[in-house]
Structure 1
Amino acid sequence: MEPAVDRLRRTLRSLGEPRLAPAEEPVQKRPPELGRLADLAGGEIVVEAERTGYLAVRHVYPVEHRHGHAPLSLALEARPETLGLLARDARLDSMDPSSAVYFDTETTGLGTATGTLVFLVGVGRFVTGGFEVTQYFLPGPDGEKAFLGGVREGLGETFLVSYNGKCFDAPLLQTRYLLQRERLALTRWPHLDLLRAARGLYRARVPDCRLGTIERMVLGVEREEADVPGFLIPGIYFDYLRSGAVEELARVFYHNLLDVLSLAGLGGAAAATMEGRLASPPASDLSGAGRLLELAGRDAEAEASYRRALLTARGEERAAMLRRLGFLLKRQREHVRAAEVWNALVESGTDRDGVAHTELAKHLEHRIRDYTEALAVVEMALQSGAHRAPGMRAALEHRKARLLAKQASRLTGPRPD
């Protein structure tokens, strides 16, 4: 059987390019063709708008489904403490990854004030044998109370996974509930916002951290022409309210569906990178994981991530990772192992700012008390130009003078009384 997402792509391609609706105030003039909308969206109707005031469409994927090159099952294999680290929220340390709710909203604007309406919410969760995405749609403003009731039921009571949802989706939804005189404290729920995780893990190799960029460069997802640019989405909804036409609105459903699938794929890939479960991740991703682990005080795992990154890193990228590893070991008082790292960086010829030369010279001077070797390292830094950091040359000259004085004192020995 043809997968639902492929069927949806094929149908939407036949509809042509999306168009931007006029900006006039929308007025719904005729009943929407919601049955046709559900058909175009490619899912199963689980809640009928005629009966409840809102529409819900469900899609189910096997856990082995690959979104890009990431199987959805990766998210189920995450360790709870990894989710807590990525979320910077210890409450997730005791949460079962299979209970996560992945959610994304489509709205009439980018603000979180009372004038912005949420009209589509995609909710994804793992169920027995698969991953289920239910899309809740608001056919018109009059049905908002029932629509929000359906969304509340769909979210359940667990922890949230989103992309920028802590700053946008959750506060906006919470505002809509308050306007309907209902309480749903979404901003207090345990919440893994993958935007923050993406910035920590992937910023070294992506031009920006928009979800479209991350899903393309990290997951290998290429959205097709069936998708619609986000800035067109409010206008498409307003056009639907005026005319009842659903063809372009189906593109918004497709956009939202891919967003939710990307949340599950990205959450699994991020956790797998942190835990060292990916076969051959880019060195920059492993370095990003090392930084996050180091900040969380998980030094042994951070060191392992840095060392794995060093297996494939080259040039300036490798130099930056060696510096991080060296300072991690120094902070742990692993001075001998730190000196080995500084020496490797010195010998690589990539210590442009003189940091590794300085740290190695410190170790030789203060711990080994080998002033001759320490002086040789300082001389090497001065001669090779490894002193580009502000004030580094003066600091090296000062260290050289001190080492020469210590060396002379050792040679002459104490003066007789």
Structure 2
Amino acid sequence: MDTEQPVVRQKYSLRPSPLAAATTKLAATLSGVWAEGTEGRYFTAEQTYPRSHRQGIHLLEDFLAADSHALAKLCREPAINGVDLSSALFLDTETTGLDTGGNTLVFLVGLGYFENEEFRVRQFFLYDPAGEAAMLHAISALVQRFSLLVTFNGKSFDVPMLGARYWPHGQGHAQRFLVGMPHADLLYPARRLWKDRLRSVRLANLERTLLGVRRTGDVAGAEIPDLYLRYLHDGAVDRLLPVFYHNAQDLLTLATLATYAASVYADPFDGRVQDGLDFLCVGRAYEAAGDVDNAIRAYDRALSLSLHPAAQLDACKRITPLYKRTARLNHAVALWEEMVTSERRHSILPYEELAKHCEHVLGDLQRAESLVIEALRLLPLDPCTRTSERDLEKRLRRIQAKLAALPVSDAPAGESR
């Protein structure tokens, strides 16, 4: 364990002189300060923003009025419900790679939080791998002031990556703060609310398509590790400015994303949601949370909008059992009737459901027969169904057997038995 830092130095071919020279330029170039902690010297860059700062479609302070209940449901983290959002800590890290092994450094740890009338961003920078212990100790001391962690993919990446760095310095106990507080990892709400429509829910794509955030002077995330490794080689601090900007912007966007996601879940019916796929997604989120009434409303709204065949089938499959569970069979029947008369007759599901209803509830065997025959005709055109031709033919034979067994006086008009 104690040999890890020398290994890192050997891997990156560190030369003391470039980094020693770089330390004299850090404060001026990165608008930061040096501090002395119990473990040694560390460097932080600091920026403050007014709470009224606009990051895309929201002000930073809008987060403070967000619905914590909605955020808890979306994150599936009950402990978030009722938490004081002013005690939230936004976390984003930059690393030399994606591997959680010992040779990956977390060289920039961005922390954002509300303080007085400002939003403060503190960026702990690993100016030299030899100073890692001091940086980590300072981070743990600050983080313990807060009661909610907000990240994007932090559960899978930032938190385990940062936590792993404590062990080589004998500070394993100190990293427990990272897993001990409620954690709003916004990657999961993003997937639940927008994956169907956007496909990619990378933070950069969410900024462009949903949040109205436009960056200038940014750097692609894939380029960041190499920029730091070059800094370790030659001590050139200037090239890291876009990395600090990138990290700070991620923190600001987390506040906007959390606010917007919570507002969509809290009330998607107020006009902010327009796309059928988004209503389908929020319906699933409501259903998973046990909110049947809002799930039905969302699925119903999705079906009223334009959906591709697979999405329409999914919405129909999901809303049908909810209608039945809540004794609203008439709503289900109305939906099936609308679907079989629609010009967008892509799915055999409504034909199957109506056939069962006609056979078992209404006793209308003749219509049940015609519905199954139509389902058989449409079966090759429905790529999403799991019903086989054999299943439909079996149903048809049963219905026809029932028709054949009817007394002549009970046979449908126009038939002779």
Identity of aligned residues (%): 36
User: Is 1:250 equivalent to 2:249 in the alignment?
Assistant: no
User: Is 1:96 equivalent to 2:65 in the alignment?
Assistant: no
2:179 counterpart letter in structure 1: T
d(CA) in 2 for partners of 1:175, 1:220:
35
Kindly report the root-mean-square deviation, in angstroms, between the aligned alpha carbons of the 2 structures.
2.8
Aligned to 2:401: 405
d(CA) in 1 for partners of 2:333, 2:28:
65
Q: Is the 8 A contact 2:355 2:368 kept in 1?
A: yes
d(CA) in 1 for partners of 2:97, 2:280:
37
CA offsets, 1:37-61, max 9 Å, x none? 55555x6x4x425786222233233
User: Is 1:164 equivalent to 2:164 in the alignment?
Assistant: no
Aligned to 1:287: 280
d(CA) in 1 for partners of 2:205, 2:16:
35
Cα offset for 1:197? 2.0
Q: Specify the SS of the correspondent of 1:114.
A: coil
Aligned to 1:304: 297
Write out aligned runs for 1:90-239 (5 A): 90-156=78-144, 157-182=146-171, 183=173, 184-185=175-176, 186-224=178-216, 226-239=217-230
CA offsets, 1:275-325, max 9 Å, x none? 125633233222211112211211112222223334543453445434432
d(CA) in 2 for partners of 1:130, 1:325:
45
d(CA) in 2 for partners of 1:101, 1:90:
18
CA offsets, 1:4-32, max 9 Å, x none? xxxxxxxxxxxxxxxxxxx8523342435
Q: Specify the SS of the correspondent of 2:287.
A: helix
Cα offset for 1:391? 4.4
d(CA) in 2 for partners of 1:289, 1:320:
13
d(CA) in 1 for partners of 2:43, 2:362:
74
Cα offset for 1:137? 1.4
Q: Is the 8 A contact 1:29 1:242 kept in 2?
A: no
Change (3 A) 1:173 1:24: closer
Q: Specify the SS of the correspondent of 2:127.
A: coil
Figure out how many residues of one structure are paired with residues of the other and give that number: 388
2:128 counterpart letter in structure 1: G
d(CA) in 1 for partners of 2:15, 2:25:
21
Write out aligned runs for 1:313-352 (5 A): 313-316=306-309, 317-352=311-346
CA offsets, 1:184-237, max 9 Å, x none? 21234321222222222211122423222232222233433x212223222222
Aligned to 2:357: 363
Change (3 A) 1:98 1:187: same
User: Is 1:58 equivalent to 2:46 in the alignment?
Assistant: yes
Q: Specify the SS of the correspondent of 1:48.
A: strand
Cα offset for 1:403? 2.0
Q: Specify the SS of the correspondent of 2:154.
A: coil
Q: Is the 8 A contact 2:348 2:378 kept in 1?
A: no
d(CA) in 2 for partners of 1:123, 1:250:
17
Q: Is the 8 A contact 1:122 1:260 kept in 2?
A: yes
Cα offset for 1:140? 1.2
Write out aligned runs for 1:43-54 (5 A): 45=32, 47-49=33-35, 53-54=41-42
Change (3 A) 1:49 1:27: farther
Aligned to 1:19: none
1:321 counterpart letter in structure 2: A
Change (3 A) 1:32 1:84: farther
Q: Specify the SS of the correspondent of 2:256.
A: helix
d(CA) in 1 for partners of 2:49, 2:111:
13
CA offsets, 1:376-414, max 9 Å, x none? 322332344565535433322222222223234344479
d(CA) in 1 for partners of 2:148, 2:155:
12
Change (3 A) 1:38 1:290: farther
Cα offset for 1:367? 2.2
Cα offset for 1:77? 3.2
Change (3 A) 1:154 1:36: same
Structure 2: gaps spanning 5 or more residues: 1-10, 411-417
Structure 1: gaps spanning 5 or more residues: 1-22
Change (3 A) 1:353 1:152: same
1:177 counterpart letter in structure 2: Y
Q: Is the 8 A contact 1:58 1:132 kept in 2?
A: yes
2:156 counterpart letter in structure 1: C
d(CA) in 2 for partners of 1:259, 1:111:
21
CA offsets, 1:319-350, max 9 Å, x none? 54344322432344432222222222222243
Cα offset for 1:170? 0.7
Cα offset for 1:253? 0.2
d(CA) in 1 for partners of 2:121, 2:12:
33
Aligned to 1:72: 60
Which deviates more from structure 2 when the two are superposed, residues 395-404 or residues 315-324?
315-324
d(CA) in 1 for partners of 2:206, 2:21:
35
Q: Is the 8 A contact 1:28 1:244 kept in 2?
A: no
Aligned to 2:72: 84
Aligned to 1:5: none
Q: Is the 8 A contact 2:276 2:307 kept in 1?
A: no
2:125 counterpart letter in structure 1: F
Q: Is the 8 A contact 2:89 2:149 kept in 1?
A: yes
Q: Is the 8 A contact 1:319 1:350 kept in 2?
A: no
Change (3 A) 1:133 1:364: farther
1:274 to 258, 265, 272: 265
